[in-house]
Structure 1
Amino acid sequence: MENVETLIDDLIGAGKKEKCGDQILAEPLFMILNHFARMEKELSDLRERNRDVEDLRAKVKDLENQHVIEMRITHGTINGLIQVVSNIMAENEDLKQQIQSFRGCHHQELAPASSENWDEDCSENWDEDCSGQGADQGRLDEADLPRLKDFEPLQLLGTGGYGKVYLVRKVGGVDDGTKYALKTQDINEIMSCEAFRQQYRTERELLEKGLEAPFMVGLYYSFETQSNLCLVQDYYAGTGCNLFDLLWELGGMFTVDESRMYLAEIIEAVEYLHKLRVIHRDLKPENILVDIQGHIAVADYGLCKQFVCSKEGDRAYSQCGTSQYMAPEIFIGEGYSYVMDWWSVGVTAFVMMVGHRPFEYDEHQNDSALCCKILHDKPDIPLWFLDCEVDLIERMLKKNPRLRLGGGKRGAQEIKEHPFFDGINWGDVSKRQLRMPHSLDFEWEGVSDIKHLGEHSVSFLSPGDESGNNEGRESDLSEVLL
């Protein structure tokens, strides 16, 4: 390019110097050379653009290679998942066959029992009635694992949608004479759908963990009869002695200092459940037991929801629990998470310090009136409450779960650091070293001491339990439920 331009300059200079008659020939030559100069410039621009195109082609090729690699990884993952699903389906078919075999062998229709008491029901045939499966099998040798006849029923403690709970005394073995709470649940009902089976598994798992947790109910044995699954649990001062009953006996309310200590232990228990990725969903004074030393234990895991994996946004949608203690988000129906339990703890705190629930309604009205109060009304906090007490109740009963105390990322720690709990040594709380305000130097015996239950028989036999069932073999059912 530079050579052509130099040549043109030379020709122009020569033409000016000589001013000869050949100027007519120089002008066409100048035009030709100028044309070639433009062409060379265009070629240079094309070469530059060609380099850009080559760069783009290289990038496209790199992207294609990366895509191929990612597709291979994806196909490998899909093939692995297909294999896992195939294995699960094969295992489910085996489980279905085992369940059908078990139900065919052991769920025959039997005539109803006519006996009214335990002595008549517990006949000699009961020596081979049940095969025990201890939840804590390290506690006893296999030969010592219990059967139904190894427990003497003393009284019916309670009934619910998922079964009955009896006070029993162990007969024989290293724990002869020990009192337990025995919960019976109907096998047919539990096996009727996957939701009930999952609920049983969750409850049993939490009871097993309760042996290691300071404020949980522990499971000592589990076994089955022909018609019932039996869970042998901790017995808390008659199990009829819960926080509600204690409030009743002491005039309907605690002092603020007494409430603070009970709340501290309740918070520890709920925090433990949330670390296990479990929402209790039915926290209330009736489900908080009190032992002889006055320490509490959160009980009744029948409505607990356990999430399979830990991740932000874990949400449940079932509307369940006790209406007066249910958080607003449950009524709205858009899902709820762990923070709903802190609302229930806030209602419990109000009950302990005030003597009634914060959202009362006429029993003759339907539940929609209560729902409206919970969604829109503010709790009527007594004027004699101190500022820190008012702030605790108001923040635990925030309608918006994101603004509720305990609803942040720090969870229970937010509540523990509230001024209401100044002076509480949380290390002592977790070690059960608080001196609780009301130790029980008595046991609540007799159905009359257990309120709202009415009269009940003291037998927990079912018609299907009158003959032997699971002697000498592992239960097929337990493989599904445990």
Structure 2
Amino acid sequence: MAAAAEDKCGVLHGKYELGRMLGHGTFAKVYHARNLHSGNSVAMKVVGKEKVIKVGMMDQIKREISVMKMVKHPNIVELHEVLASKTKIYFAMELVRGGELFAKISKGRLREELARNYFQQLISAIDFCHSRGVYHRDLKPENLLLDEDGHLKVTDFGLSAFSDHLRQDGMLHTTCGTPAYVAPEVIAKKGYDGAKVDIWSCGVILYVLLAGFLPFQDDNIVAMYRKIYRGDFKCPPWLSSDARKLITKMLDPNPNSRITIAKIMSSSWFKKSVPRSLRKNEDEEFSFSGDKAKEEVETLNAFHIISLSQGFDLSPLFEEKKKTEKEEMRFATTKPASSVISKLEEVAKTSNFSVKKSDSSVRLQGHESGRKGKLGISADIFTMNPSLLVVEVKKASGDTLEYNQFCSKELKPALKDIVWTSPTEHSTPA
């Protein structure tokens, strides 16, 4: 039983009735569930806190929640809400009943018209993600679901990244993804463009849809990586000339010359029989109007996402930290990143710290040596949605006690007027 969140009748938070298990992975189980208020069915993904904390995956869980709240699109599985107890996190998600696209492919290659239909929906979803600064980074048929009407739905944003995660060179650097679908520049570990990596994976998916097997195959993973790195593959003879051209441009091992999504969508193969709902001029359907964006912030104000019940220290749901010797703190704000950075610069100026900054991070470096050298503090700014940021402040160097004293006596009071608190809270956090 998940603390007080789930009662003896299998009812979660008095709102969802849990049913049979639909599937499970290493860190999560997925159940059929019914919303007792609306009667609608959902897929309830249940993640054990202790397990993900132990393997250091909590940031990945938080990122997945943040991303799924941002990307509302007909071809992306919708996250309805997130609930939590002391031991578990519950994702109430759109129930997609048609299974994985992988199951369909495992029976053999698809007709070109059907493959094109799925591919058009995939590209529409990924183009939308990229327009929001979100890169999936683990696209494969197992992460593409089909509903009862055969509509494709992208899922599993656990390895996704925001444009905020780019380093100073403008690139992402985390090595991730599934080997057979991963782009050569990710293998090279030299930094990569998240959009171009997703395009490569979409190219592998298109090849698999049309061919019925992978373009880069080898029992030896090192040999397979060599093939990927060289772009060493052959198209089977039954592929049409236009399909071959498109796949070859998508599986270009040079990311600088690899085809863009805009050019994919304007290619003759892609444009053939494009469903009306996917045409570019109807993209407004998927974007937030001002009012819609406001609604999103209001749902987040209760912070069902990560139970942000106080302005400062937003992590009690996820981390059992000791009361002493904390080396990080978090706070939420509706102010722009520039305001956060300005505040931190003011603190640095009055406290004899030097400052290094970028658009989404600030580093404060003390000039005087303490018990364990000079105190260094880093602050990273994460976008939850266009109107809401979470700032994570960490000790980068120096003594933990000195860091905690600095935070409580100087940093928190200075940040007080930009820290967001729920309208339901009547007291100001200390």
Q: Identify the TM-score tier after normalising by the shorter chain.
A: 0.5 to 0.7
Per-residue CA deviation, residues 295-314 of structure 1 (Å, 9 max, x unaligned), is 11110000001122899963
Q: Which structure has more helix as a fraction of its residues?
A: 1
> Shift in Å at residue 267 of structure 1?
0.3
Matched with 1:448 is: none
Which residue of 152, 169, 181 corresponds with 2:18? 152
Aligned residues: 289
The alignment status of 1:413 with 2:262, answered yes or no, reads yes
Over 3 Å counting, the alpha-carbon distance change for 1:377 and 1:311 in structure 2 is closer
Over 3 Å counting, the alpha-carbon distance change for 1:311 and 1:225 in structure 2 is closer
The alignment status of 1:333 with 2:333, answered yes or no, reads no
Amino acid at match of 1:151: E
The alignment status of 1:242 with 2:100, answered yes or no, reads yes
What's the secondary structure of 2:70's corresponding residue?
helix
Which residue of 368, 375, 379 corresponds with 2:233? 379
Alpha-carbon separation, structure 2, partners of 1:258 and 1:375:
30
The alignment status of 1:402 with 2:259, answered yes or no, reads no
What's the secondary structure of 2:25's corresponding residue?
strand
Conservation of the 8 A alpha-carbon contact between 1:130 and 1:224:
no
Over 3 Å counting, the alpha-carbon distance change for 1:370 and 1:237 in structure 2 is same
Conservation of the 8 A alpha-carbon contact between 2:31 and 2:45:
no
Per-residue CA deviation, residues 2-32 of structure 1 (Å, 9 max, x unaligned), is xxxxxxxxxxxxxxxxxxxxxxxxxxxxxxx
Conservation of the 8 A alpha-carbon contact between 2:172 and 2:192:
yes
Alpha-carbon separation, structure 1, partners of 2:185 and 2:191:
7
What's the secondary structure of 2:316's corresponding residue?
helix
The alignment status of 1:281 with 2:151, answered yes or no, reads no
Say which one has the larger Rg. Answer: 1
Matched with 1:44 is: none
Alpha-carbon separation, structure 1, partners of 2:81 and 2:75:
19
Conservation of the 8 A alpha-carbon contact between 2:231 and 2:251:
no
Matched with 1:201 is: 62
Please give the residue correspondences for 1:44-443 in structure 2 after superposition, counting only pairs within 5 Å.
128-129=4-5, 146-147=12-13, 150-160=16-26, 163-170=27-34, 172-173=36-37, 175-176=38-39, 178-191=40-53, 196-210=57-71, 212-237=72-97, 241-248=99-106, 251-308=107-164, 314-337=170-193, 338-362=195-219, 365=220, 367-406=221-260, 412-425=261-274, 427-429=276-278
Gaps of 5+ in 1: 1-120, 132-144, 407-411, 434-472
Q: What's the C-alpha RMSD, in Å, of the aligned pairs?
A: 3.2
Alpha-carbon separation, structure 2, partners of 1:385 and 1:189:
45
Per-residue CA deviation, residues 200-231 of structure 1 (Å, 9 max, x unaligned), is 22211222234x31111111221112211111
Higher relative contact order (CA 8 A, sep 6+): 1
Alpha-carbon separation, structure 1, partners of 2:258 and 2:317:
41
Conservation of the 8 A alpha-carbon contact between 2:211 and 2:239:
no
Conservation of the 8 A alpha-carbon contact between 2:203 and 2:251:
yes
Matched with 1:477 is: 316
Alpha-carbon separation, structure 2, partners of 1:330 and 1:155:
35
TM-score (norm 1): 0.54
Alpha-carbon separation, structure 2, partners of 1:130 and 1:261:
41
Gaps of 5+ in 2: 283-308, 319-329, 332-383, 385-430
Q: Which structure has more strand as a fraction of its residues?
A: 2
